Amino acid sequence: MTGPRFDFDKPGKYIGQPTKRGDTKRLLRGRGKYVDDLTLPRMLHAAFLRSPVAHGKILSIDITEAKKVNGVIRIFKGSDFIDVVKPYVGVLSHLAGLRSPPQMPIAIDRVLWQGEPVAMVVATSRAIAEDAVSLIEMDLEELPAATNMETALDKEEPIIHSEYDSNLSWERTVDVGDVEEVYKRDDVTIVEKQFRFGRHTGVPLEARSIIANYDPSENQLDVYYSGQAPHMMQNIYSKHLNIPEENVRVISQDVGGAFGIKIHTYGDEFAATAVAKIMERPIKFIADRYESFMTDIHARDHVVNGKMAVSKDGKILAIEFSDITGIGPFSMYPRTSAIEANQILNLTGGPYVVPNYRANSRVVFQNKNMMCQYRAVGHPVAMAICDGLVEEAAAAINMDSVELRKLNLIKDNAYPTTTASGLKLDDLSHHKAINKLVEMMDYEKLKDENNKLRNEGVHRGIGFVSMIEITNPSPAFYGVGGAHIASQDGATIRLGAGGGIHVSSSVTEQGQGTNAILAQIAADVFGVNIDMVQVTTGDTKTTPYGGGAWASRGAGIGGEAVYLAAEALKDQVLDIASVMLQSKPEDLNISDGNVVDIGSDDNRISLSDLARTVYYRGNELPSDMPLELIATRHYRVTDMPFVFTNAAMAAHIELDVETGIIKVLNFWAVEDCGRVINPMLVDEQIRGGVVQGIGSALYEECLYSDEGQLLNVTLADYLVPMAAEMPEIHVAHIETPTKTSVLGAKGAGEAGTGGAPAAIINAVNNALRPLGVTNFQIPMTPNRMLETLKAANFK
Amino acid sequence: MADTRTITVNVNGEVHTNTINVRKNLIDYLRDDLGFTGSHVGCEHGVCGACTLDINGETVRSCLMLAVQADGTAITTIEGLADNGVAGDLKKSFAEKNALQCGYCTPGMLASAIEYINAGGNADKDKIRRHISGNYCRCTGYQAIVEAIYSVAENGGN
């Protein structure tokens, strides 16, 4: 350490401020660089013939007519990839027992889900490629399909993979304390509910997109991809296409939303990349909306039977549940499709003191599109189970649910501690959060209003959730299980000759504002105006090695690496300045682009003059002086497997008992993501997340027929939240910095999506309970509500 | 029946004459033939609003219109929006309120917002929400977009 460290106790010029994002300038002028905006010389376009059935044997594929279409260059079948692509398997060693067979990009003998690619046409335009796809004659023998996850383990059901004894992919049980002992007591109240979570998907507005280009002269593969984890994909393409890792470059420029959808290995994208290598020319594949609904990973298809025991005075004594989830015919590569179930086992009850906990999850194969990690993986299910049971228990013992929460939430001064499932928790603030929440929403007044309105036939409800969110993961998430997924991230910062700095980071930007917060941190910590900071992310060739964007890690891990690199670059500058200025480095600082004297703040030399001296007139400096004006630092979380955040949220809804329509009147969120680097961006992360959570609770569901046909593949019949249905969302923060880093930032990207469904479910049931009915199935569509209301007791 | 036709359109003040396939959508013509990639394709069935743009003063879903139908028209895409006036105010307001995250819905959202202000839309959040309910945004939760349009409406639309 040579110069003064950044002082977080003083207000930063940028850190903690609602600084505008530099990227908006480009995006507001139509100058974004999304994958589909890019055209390469001699580029060809891909379209896919996909399986029309959930399970079938491919008897023949006749491409005679398709080949005749003017503009069709080549047509590929599954067998064409056997010598090119090494099969991939979606398992992780730390999920003991998880099994899934090898996958290939395109089906070879058998199709296992509707939408699975079976042939790929390469043509001079997408339209021509689609023309040709429609002329391919495929003869299929339809086979019996196992589509229903709840019966997939039954003996009568077809076993999808004959090498296995059943359709079970993975199972895990957690058993802590002794729930049976609790049930034997006669002074406990037990509530039981079945929770059903609909299968839904991420629906980023920009569909999955890829352009792959291969240059045989250098054995170089370049992949432009709309995605979250360039280095992960670099490793995957290298490993499975047999190209040295350093010869694979993966570039993510502007990404039109991702939400966890764009971090997996999809057959169509893999095929496009492999064909670029085979044909030695650029191939573009842009999924259309039908393909997005059919083949983007789905999530959250869970049926959970849950149980909670509370004492008469409202203490939670036990939580128990069994979960079943169907993941499609394979576990997705490389993150696997068992993580969501694992998270549910890990997280349920996490905000509370839960002395006895027993939970089981079964992950089963089925003939449907694959399920995998989508924003807030597992959280919406885990939070809805526990807080749904909390509200049921409170109603059963006639206690206000906020009171019951306060009795059981882990005390703010009780950290570090662990969840019932054994995860380490620290630096959380559940009590502060819920206290602030009830104050912010004026809970008592709202309750009185609801009671009055109920007498007038207006059915309103208030629902709460207290939650935790996994952020800033350590290698415990994937690395320990053998996945080549980095949990550390790096940042390089260099001083330019003009006095500006260039930050290059391995975390990525999909609109969250990652680039902006990295610039804020670099500008404040190093000491320049933010206009003098350029940020590069999303390119394996020009950024340090790292994980990218997942599990809410951009600010906490990527930001910390930038903080460390900015301090290191500052030390380099002050060392050089001290020689040039004949001062001690500890007497100097950098402020507004100048080296200044500490105390007086007098300018001694501008950064551009200093840089120019080093770069152009090195003869003026001592010959043994280090010339580095570039620093790289990496950061990983070492003290904990994950850095948890917490939040308390509440929804206020009105249920129209005639139509079954639920209107969300208001939503409040109090969130603790540690140090807030940019409140404007964090608030909008929370709001966007809440809206996705409301969508899943009220509207969104991938509907399959019993035969495994997806019935809603357009935005006209898969309903997403639009502006008119959404409420004002009021956001407040508590800042409990994590002790694992200097910056103290935790993640904020997934809390809204993780918590909002539980708040909505609880609000609707708060409106239903006086009518003598409840419903714990999402989405809570008007039809489901009307069905529930058939048994209602209207006084 | 000829499957191509020659059309002339004015895009952002530039006149373009091209012979194109009659089945081509306007959005594909603008993006692929002319290189105006600012307008985006989201659903190709007229629901998401990402491809919304201005033709002769009307907002149009350019994925639901054939390029040949645009023959003889004047089209304004996001690349052609002025930095002053209503468009300029909205762009400034969108940046200040962070009314965009990934930016993919932004060209269509701006086109709808300009339509709202130009039609004399007032500073009423419910009306603004209804007006932009043909534009899907997965990132923001809409509130910042509503506030950005609201603040321009509040200042008299210019």
pLDDT tens, position by position, A711-767: 999 999 999 999 999 999 999 999 999 999 999 999 999 999 999 999 999 999 999
A688: which chain B residues are within 8 Å (Cβ-Cβ)?
A: 101, 138-141
- CA gap A492, A545 in Å, rounded: 10
Out of B45, B78, B110, whose CB is closest to A289?
B45
B43: which chain A residues are within 8 Å (Cβ-Cβ)?
A: 289, 714-715
Is the domain defined by B85-154 classed in CATH 1.20.120.50? no
CA distance A778 to chain B (A): 19
If asked whether residues A277 and A316 sit together in one domain, one would say no
Q: Flag whether A457 is in a domain.
A: yes
- Say whether A302 sits in a helix, a strand or coil: strand
Predicted local distance difference test score (pLDDT) of residue B2: 76
Whether B91 and A28 lie within 8 Å, measured CB to CB = yes
Whether A714 and B103 lie within 8 Å, measured CB to CB = no
Q: Flag whether A420 is in a domain.
A: yes
Please calculate the CA angle B81-B145-A207 and round it to the nearest 5 degrees. Answer: 80
CA distance A86 to chain B (A): 33
If asked whether residues A577 and A541 sit together in one domain, one would say yes
Whether B23 and A720 lie within 8 Å, measured CB to CB = no
Residue recorded with tokens 């499957």 = B3
If asked whether residues A394 and A327 sit together in one domain, one would say yes
Average pLDDT, chain B: 96
| Confidence class for position B157, pLDDT limits 50, 70, 90 | low
B112: which chain A residues are within 8 Å (Cβ-Cβ)?
A: none
Phi, psi at residue B136, to the nearest 5°?
-85, 130
Q: Hey, where are the domains in chain B?
A: 4-80, 85-154
CB contacts < 8 A, A to B, total 174
CA distance B129 to chain A (A): 5
Which of A72, A54, A55 has its CA nearest to residue A63?
Answer: A72
- CA gap A153, A155 in Å, rounded: 6
Whether A36 and B78 lie within 8 Å, measured CB to CB = no
| Confidence class for position A11, pLDDT limits 50, 70, 90 | confident
Predicted local distance difference test score (pLDDT) of residue A213: 98
Q: Which of residues 21-50 of B touch A (CB under 8 A)?
A: 21, 23-24, 28, 31-32, 36-45, 47-48, 50
Nearest-Cα residue of chain B relative to residue A513: B101
Nearest-Cα residue of chain A relative to residue B50: A205
A652 touches chain B (CB under 8 A): no
Nearest-Cα residue of chain B relative to residue A28: B91
Whether A205 and B39 lie within 8 Å, measured CB to CB = no
Number of folded domains in chain A? 3
A516: which chain B residues are within 8 Å (Cβ-Cβ)?
A: none
* The CA-based dihedral angle spanning residues A540, A544, A550, A551, taken in that order and rounded to the nearest 10 degrees: 170
Residue scoring higher pLDDT (A1 or A559): A559
A680: which chain B residues are within 8 Å (Cβ-Cβ)?
A: 97-98
If asked whether residues A342 and A314 sit together in one domain, one would say yes
Whether residue A331 contacts residue A88, with contact meaning beta carbons closer than 8 Å, is answered with no
Average confidence (pLDDT) over B19-24: 97
B94 touches chain A (CB under 8 A): yes
Q: Flag whether A10 is in a domain.
A: no
B66 touches chain A (CB under 8 A): no
Q: Which of B139, B149, B152 to mutate to test the interface with A (most CBs of A within 10 A)?
A: B139
Q: Flag whether A668 is in a domain.
A: yes
Half-sphere exposure of residue B118: CA atoms within 13 angstroms, side-chain side: 14
Determine the angle formed by the axes of helices A782-789 and A751-768, rounding to 10 degrees.
Answer: 30
If asked whether residues A525 and A462 sit together in one domain, one would say no
Whether residue B73 contacts residue B56, with contact meaning beta carbons closer than 8 Å, is answered with yes
B73 touches chain A (CB under 8 A): no
If asked whether residues A448 and A531 sit together in one domain, one would say no
If asked whether residues A466 and A511 sit together in one domain, one would say no
Whether residue A188 contacts residue A362, with contact meaning beta carbons closer than 8 Å, is answered with no
Out of B32, B45, B141, whose CB is closest to A714?
B45
Which of A58, A211, A38 has its CA nearest to residue A122?
Answer: A211
Predicted local distance difference test score (pLDDT) of residue A12: 87
pLDDT digits (tens, 9 = 90+) for A33-83: 999 999 999 999 999 999 999 999 999 999 999 999 999 999 999 999 999
Q: Which of residues 368-427 of A touch B (CB under 8 A)?
A: none
Q: Which of residues 84-143 of A touch B (CB under 8 A)?
A: 125, 127
Q: Flag whether A169 is in a domain.
A: no
Residue A169: which H helix or E strand, with range?
strand A168-176
CA distance A604 to chain B (A): 35
User: Does A181 have pLDDT greater than 90?
Assistant: yes
Q: Which of residues 3-22 of B touch A (CB under 8 A)?
A: 21
- CA gap A687, B136 in Å, rounded: 15
Q: In sequence order, what are the residues at sequence separation of 6 or more whose Cβ sits closer than 8 angstroms to the Cβ of residue A741? A: A472, A556, A560, A563, A635, A637
Average confidence (pLDDT) over A360-386: 98
Q: In sequence order, what are the residues at sequence separation of 6 or more whose Cβ sits closer than 8 angstroms to the Cβ of residue A306? A: A192, A193, A194, A195, A319, A320, A321, A385, A388, A389
| Confidence class for position A476, pLDDT limits 50, 70, 90 | confident
Indicate the DSSP class of residue A377.
Answer: T
If asked whether residues A413 and A520 sit together in one domain, one would say no
Average confidence (pLDDT) over A469-487: 91
Average pLDDT, chain A: 97
Average confidence (pLDDT) over A503-531: 97
A510 touches chain B (CB under 8 A): yes
Q: Flag whether A767 is in a domain.
A: yes
Q: Indicate which CATH number applies to the domain containing A594.
A: 3.30.365.10
Predicted local distance difference test score (pLDDT) of residue A2: 72
User: Does B38 have pLDDT greater than 70?
Assistant: yes
Whether B105 and A205 lie within 8 Å, measured CB to CB = yes
For the domain covering B4-80, report its CATH number.
3.10.20.30
pLDDT digits (tens, 9 = 90+) for A404-428: 999 999 999 999 999 999 999 999 9
Q: Indicate which CATH number applies to the domain containing A62.
A: 3.90.1170.50
Reading the block at residue A558, the tokens are: 């990527």
Average confidence (pLDDT) over A229-246: 98
If asked whether residues A459 and A338 sit together in one domain, one would say yes
CA distance A357 to chain B (A): 36
User: Does A150 have pLDDT greater than 90?
Assistant: yes
Predicted local distance difference test score (pLDDT) of residue A10: 85
Nearest-Cα residue of chain A relative to residue B131: A724
Can you say whether residue A85 is alpha, beta or left, with left for phi > 0 and alpha for psi between -120 and 50 degrees? beta
Which of A313, A370, A323 has its CA nearest to residue A347?
Answer: A323
| Confidence class for position A95, pLDDT limits 50, 70, 90 | very high
* A117-123 sheet: strands from edge to edge: A72-77, A117-123, A44-50, A283-286, A209-215, A220-225, A248-251
pLDDT digits (tens, 9 = 90+) for A535-556: 999 999 999 999 999 989 999 9
B88 touches chain A (CB under 8 A): no
Q: Flag whether A173 is in a domain.
A: no
Q: Flag whether A197 is in a domain.
A: no
If asked whether residues A710 and A741 sit together in one domain, one would say yes
B129 touches chain A (CB under 8 A): yes
Out of B104, B132, B146, whose CB is closest to A205?
B104
B32: which chain A residues are within 8 Å (Cβ-Cβ)?
A: 125
Predicted local distance difference test score (pLDDT) of residue B1: 56
If asked whether residues A423 and A557 sit together in one domain, one would say no
User: Does B158 have pLDDT greater than 90?
Assistant: no
Phi, psi at residue A241, to the nearest 5°?
-110, 5
State the residue range of the domain holding A362. 298-475+639-789
If asked whether residues A626 and A700 sit together in one domain, one would say no
A680 touches chain B (CB under 8 A): yes
A19-44 b/e with 16+ CB inside 10 Å = b?
Answer: bbbbbbeebbbbebebbbbbeeeebb
